[in-house]
Amino acid sequence: MDRDTTWRIFTDIKAARESLLKRGSLRDVDVPEALIERSVGIFGERLGPEEAVRRIISSVRAGGDQALRDWNQKIDRIATDSLRVSPGEIHAALDTIAPDLRAALELAAERIRAFHQKQPLHSWIDANADGSLGQLIRPVDSVGVYVPGGTAPLPSSLLMSVIPAQVAGVPEIIVCTPPGSGAGDIHPAILAAAAIAGIDEIYRIGGAQAIAAMAYGSETIPRVASIVGAGNLFVTLAKQQVYGDVGIDGLLGPTETVVIADDSADPRLAAADLLAQAEHDILASAILLTPSLDLARSVQAAIYAQLEALERRDTIVGAMLNRSGTVITRDLAQAFELANEYAAEHLCLLVADPWSWIGLVRNAGGVFLGEDSYEVLGDYVAGPSHVMPTGGTARFASPLNLLNFVKITSLIGLDKATARELSQPAQIIARAESLGAHAAAAARRGQS
C-alpha cells in the first residue's frame, strides 16, 4: 500500500472541489463491468442496472410470489419455500443471540423511541370570527421497511426505521430483508431486533424484487403506502422507479462523513471516526477538513497505524482510494463553507467549543458535536434515526423522522360572510387564469 497516495491530502481547494468534493449523480454511476457480465447469467443478455431493475419490477407485478421465489433463486441462489418468517421464528431469535447483544439492542430501541416521542406532531384548528382553518395529521396506512442483509446484516437499521413509524402511529409495518445462504435463513440479530421492536411480519426477500413486492403486493406480501430504508444500487434504483405509485423516504446511497477538526482534536480519534465510516463500502466517503496541516499529517499517520488491525481493511482502502481524503482549508470558516457545499450525511465537529459553530451549519443530515459525540453512537444508540440523506440531498432532505410516516390534510371551514367577502378576489384570480367555471362558482357564492 502506497501511503503517499492511499490517503490523499489536498492543499489546493480548487483541486479538492473538482475531485474529492465533487458530487456525482445516481444517474451517472459508473457500473463495473463485472456487474454487467453477471446480468448475462441472470437475464440472458447484457443489461445495465436501471433496465435490470425495470424488468424485475415488471415481473413481480405480473408474477407475484412465484416471481419473487424465482428472483431469490436467480440472483441470490436461494430456494425459499416460505417467503414469510413465522412469528415463532422471530421471537425464538431472542434466545439465540448473545445476552449482551440483546441488551444493547433493547437499549438502542428505548433511546430511539424516546427521541422520536419528543418530536412535535399534532393536528390543529384555528377557530375565529371568519370560521375555521387547520390541519389534520394522520399516519399513513402502511409502511414497508427494507433492511439490508448480505455480508453485513444490520439489525440497527430495522430499529432506526421501524420505531419512528410506530411512534407516528402507522398501523401496519412490514419488513423485507435478504435471506442468507443455504436454507434462506435471515440473520438472527435482525429477527431479534424485530422481536424487540414488536414486529412480527418479516419476509425473506431482498433487492429490487423486495421493493417491487412492497410497492405492488403479491399473494403473500401486502402492498404498502410508503417504503423506507437504505440498500444497494439496485434497491435505490427500484425505489426511484416505483416512486409515485408508493411513497419513499429518499434515494439513499453510500454512507459519507465529513470531519471538521482544528488543532485541539485528537488525531487518533479523528482517524478512528474516518475509518469507521470507510469500512461500510468502497464507495463510502470519509473526508477531513482542517486548517492545520500538522493535524492532517498526524491523522494520516494514525489512519495507517489503526488500519492494520481492522478486519475490513480491503474495503477501507477501496474507500480511501475512491472518495476519501483530507482538504487543508484557509481557516475553520472555509471548512464550514466546503462542508455546506458538500452537504454530507454526517458532519462531525472535532473542534474547540463545537456549539459555537452551529450557526455556520446549513446542510448536513446529522451534526455530531465534539469528540464525545462520535458518529458511531449515532449509528446505534444515540437516539435519532441513522437513516439520513446522502449524495448531497441534505441540501433539501432530512433524516428519517415522524414526518416520513404521516400525511397532512388541510381543513377549510369558512363561514358564509367570509366566503362572500373572498368571492371577488377569487373571481379575479380565476379570470386571470382563464378558468371561467372557477370564477362562476365563486360568483354564485358572492351572490348568496
Query: Which residues form the catalytic set?
Result: 345-346
Q: Helices 207-216 and 233-242, interaxial angle, to 10°? A: 20
Question: What Å distances lie between residue 257 and 35, 219, 225, 344, 366, CA to CA?
Answer: 27, 41, 31, 6, 10
CA distance 147 to 177: 5
CA distance 226 to 39: 29
Work out the burial of residue 118: count CB atoms within 10 Å of its CB; fewer than 13 is exposed, 13-18 middle, 19 or more buried: exposed
Strands (E) located in 109-246 = 124-128, 131-139, 142-146, 172-177, 202-204, 226-228
CB 178 within 8 A of CB 76: yes
CB 172 within 8 A of CB 222: yes
Taking the CA atoms of 348, 350, 353 and 356 in sequence, report the sign of the dihedral they define: negative
CA distance 186 to 342: 36
Q: In 10 A of CB 223, how many CB atoms? A: 16
C-alpha cell at 422: 373572498
3-class secondary-structure state, position 421 = helix
Instruction: Find cell 490523499 and name the residue.
Output: 8
3-class secondary-structure state, position 423 = helix
C-alpha cell at 168: 407516528
Question: What Å distances lie between residue 289 and 11, 183, 189, 306, 336, CA to CA?
Answer: 11, 47, 36, 20, 8
Nearest to 56 by CA among 46, 45, 42: 42
Q: What is the 3-state secondary structure (H, E, C) of 366-403?
A: EEEECCCCCHHHHHHCCCCCCCCCCCCHHHCCCCCCHH
